[in-house]
Structure formats: structure tokens, C-alpha cells
Structure 1
């Protein structure tokens, strides 16, 4: 996943505005990206759920 500096700034601004954890959004995007090219995406929902419910701020 390649976000430009401007993309990261905009994402941070949106996360701040909506009280969403920037780190969690980045982890979610990385996870979706990792599963994107797989033939089977078994386990993606568990991986996403784990990120969402983690204490990562």
C-alpha cells in the first residue's frame, strides 16, 4: 500500500474529524491489501475484526 504524503495527511484529517483511530485505519487498509491478491480470502473477516477490537489507538 503506497499512500502519498498528501493521502496520509488527508486520511489523518478525516480520522481526527470523525474520531477514528488513524493507526487502525492504516492497519485495516494494509490487511485488505494483503488479502486482495489471494485466490481465497479465508480469514479476512477475523483479521479485520481483530484489528477493530484491539486496543490500538
Structure 2
């Protein structure tokens, strides 16, 4: 995901306020985008669930 410098700064600030890892948020957004234009979005929830379960990307 290509975020502008300002978008990255805002994402990091919001994630810090809410105790969320910005890398994990970017992974979630990338995954949703990957499934966005598929005719059938089978597997999107499983993919998102795996990202959320992963130990990498816990709050800093």
C-alpha cells in the first residue's frame, strides 16, 4: 500500500493512540484490497482472521 508521508504519520498517530500496530493495519487494508475486485470474496474473512491472530504486529 502506497501511503503518502502525511497518511503514514496520521496512521501511526492513530494507531499509537489506540494501541494498534500500524503494520498490522496496513496488512489488513492490503488484504481487503486484494479481494475487492474478485467476483467471489471467499476466504477474505479467514485471511483477515489470520492477520489478526498473528503474533507479528502486536501493539508496540
Pairwise same-fold verdict (TM > 0.5): yes
Is the counterpart of residue 15 in structure 1 residue 23 in structure 2? Answer: no
Q: CA deviation at 1:21?
A: 1.0
Unaligned runs of 5+ in 2: none
- Structure 1 range deviating more: 1-10 or 42-51: 1-10
TM-score, normalised on structure 2? Answer: 0.89
Which protein has greater RCO, CA pairs closer than 8 Å, 6+ apart?
2
Task: Let me know the Cα RMSD of the aligned residues.
Answer: 0.8
TM-score, normalised on structure 1? Answer: 0.93
Q: Number of residues paired by the alignment?
A: 57
